[in-house]
Amino acid sequence: MSDSREPVAIGSTPLSIDDVVAVARHGAPVLLTEEAALAVKDMRVRMLAGLDADGPPVYGLTTGVGDLYDVSVAPEHVSSAQLKMLKSHACGVGEPYPPEVMRAMILLIVRAMAQGRSGVGLGLVETLVAMLNRGVTPWSPGRGSVGYLIGTAHIGLVTAGLGRAYFEGELLPGAEAMRRAGLPVLELGPREGHALVSGTYEVTAMAALAVHDARLLTAAADIAAAMSLEALRGNDRAFDPRVQQVRPHPGQAATAANLRALLDGSAIVAAHRHHRLQDPLSLRCAPQVHGSVRDALDYAERTVTIEANSVTDNPLFSVAGDELTAHTGGNGHGAPVAMALDVLAIAVTHLLNISERRTDRLTNAHFSELPAFLAAPGGEDSGFMIPQYVAASLAAEARALAQPASVHNIPTSAMQEDHVSMGVPAGWQARQAVEYAQQGLGIEILAAAQGLEHHGTLRPGAGTGAAYRAVRERVAALEEDREMYPDLAAARELVADGSLVAAVEAVVGGLAR
């Protein structure tokens, strides 16, 4: 896989969420630094030298895993047990993970292993990097994980020439995908199976992509709100900096600043400044609601960034002088990221809820002072009647997805793992909530653009005008009923791929995310 993007270096520099997206979604190349390679090699030598059949047991290396932690593995079976572990753990079910999630998992595994605390060989780390760079993407079912183990086990199978993987758009047996990419398969040694499955890479991969997409949604939501405010003859008094200063939540202030920039120079707002004393809450309180989403995403982003740069393996190895210590711990518990994903799902559901309320106002002639359902007069056209139904349906589903997954603990492994994160279910819920919010905001933007058609020669704001033009480049104004589903799909894409935000930022400068 080739890409013109700058390489993402794995070494002493922390990974950012943007780095994860660049590799997972856009194919940016990955470079393992010499410093990282030396750290991996050094710990591997020390760990192998420290293996002693008469020494203390090392979890997952000289013992079984889970409730088999107290069962010793014979020295001659230490290596073969690693592949067996991958085979037994690769038992996902249901729809497959998207390739971008699998690529993000691989990158996060590499980042953790490159810190030299897992005891794996350099060959494994280099193979994972080569799989990313040459486009070998393991296939894995996406359901069945309580927070780890499943997707990463399927990755491990491909390194050993088993499982299945995508290569150049084709789903192949793992060995064939590796052969076509010119990569040798591995004979996994001590620790190398267990280290692949024992971290939080699965849930963190889903979280990094969801945080990135949710960040983009906040700017799109501000654009949608500003367009709706103009279409509904609203005013911008509630966005005055003096209002924000006495309640200084960072997200609220950032949202209000965005809205002021988007509406700057609006002849529509100027003409209706005294049209009503105050607007409904879905318009007037956009800074408070969108801002709360921003603040929630700050927490989620901080948590996911820490996790992406952590070592969540178990055991971990450290060296003091010449003494090697194997630490058994709980860094593999996905609670921090699972809770962040639950918060993210709640946050984007709020964006969708308030957006749907604005869409209803745009289409409801009892409140909008616009044609009923933004349709042509005469009663034979339904206009935007049913897109509002769609937004309502998505909002209802998102509310169900916003119910926290991380609190639904079910013990596993014969009560040895008696509290699990449910991070992957939380990840799926957050991912779906983001997709619903993308579509819901797309519907609002279409309806708002249609509403702006009814303001004659009055000029919209600098930002809202740019947004209107971006919409019209993809979707024509609705003059009479037509098939609407292509318009809704185009509007979602405009939000999801960043085109809407980019078009606006080209005019008003960078918007707070």
Instruction: Place 411 in a pLDDT band, splitting at 50, 70 and 90.
Output: confident
CA-to-CA distance for 275 and 280, rounded, in angstroms? 13
Residue type, 354: I
The DSSP H or E segment spanning 173 is strand 170-173
Is 385 contained in some domain? yes
- Beta strand pairing status for 30-32 and 8-10? parallel
Q: Is 436 a catalytic residue?
A: no
Q: Are residues 241 and 124 in the same domain?
A: no
Range of the domain at 255: 207-320+329-409+420-508
Is 348 contained in some domain? yes
Contact assessment for residue 97 and residue 150, using Cβ atoms and an 8 Å cutoff: no
**Which pLDDT score, from 0 to 100, does residue 189 have?**
92
Is 37 contained in some domain? yes
Mean pLDDT score of the chain: 94
Residue 425 pLDDT greater than 90, yes or no: yes
Is 415 contained in some domain? no
Instruction: Place 413 in a pLDDT band, splitting at 50, 70 and 90.
Output: confident
Is 377 contained in some domain? yes
Q: Mean pLDDT, to the nearest integer, of 489-498?
A: 98
Is 2 contained in some domain? no
Secondary structure class of 96 (helix, strand, coil): strand
Residue 441 pLDDT greater than 50, yes or no: yes
**Domain end marker among 171, 198, 225:** 198
Contact assessment for residue 288 and residue 279, using Cβ atoms and an 8 Å cutoff: no
Q: Are residues 312 and 460 in the same domain?
A: yes
Q: Are residues 308 and 456 in the same domain?
A: yes
**What digits encode the pLDDT tens for the residues 87-126?**
989 999 999 999 999 999 999 999 999 999 999 999 999 9
**What digits encode the pLDDT tens for the residues 307-354?**
999 999 999 999 998 888 999 999 999 999 999 999 999 999 999 999
Cα 433 to Cα 21, 236, 316, 345: the distances in Å are 19, 29, 35, 6
**What digits encode the pLDDT tens for the residues 134-172?**
999 999 999 988 877 899 999 999 999 999 999 999 999
Instruction: Place 417 in a pLDDT band, splitting at 50, 70 and 90.
Output: confident
Contact assessment for residue 208 and residue 308, using Cβ atoms and an 8 Å cutoff: yes
Instruction: Place 66 in a pLDDT band, splitting at 50, 70 and 90.
Output: confident
Q: Are residues 79 and 99 in the same domain?
A: yes
Q: Which two tokens stand for residue 344?
A: 């993210």
**Domain end marker among 132, 166, 198:** 198
Q: Are residues 217 and 191 in the same domain?
A: no
**Domain end marker among 174, 198, 222:** 198
CA-to-CA distance for 308 and 17, rounded, in angstroms? 8
Number of domains in the chain: 2
Q: What proportion of the chain, given as a percentage, has pLDDT over 90?
A: 83
User: The domain that contains 105 carries what CATH number?
Assistant: 1.10.275.10
**What digits encode the pLDDT tens for the residues 458-488?**
999 999 999 999 999 999 999 999 999 999 9
**Which pLDDT score, from 0 to 100, does residue 2 have?**
44
Secondary structure class of 63 (helix, strand, coil): strand
**What digits encode the pLDDT tens for the residues 31-56?**
999 999 999 999 999 999 887 767 78
Is 414 contained in some domain? no
Residue type, 323: E
Q: Which two tokens stand for residue 472?
A: 């019209």
Q: Are residues 240 and 266 in the same domain?
A: yes
Contacts of 339 (CB under 8 A, 6+ apart): 303, 404, 406, 426
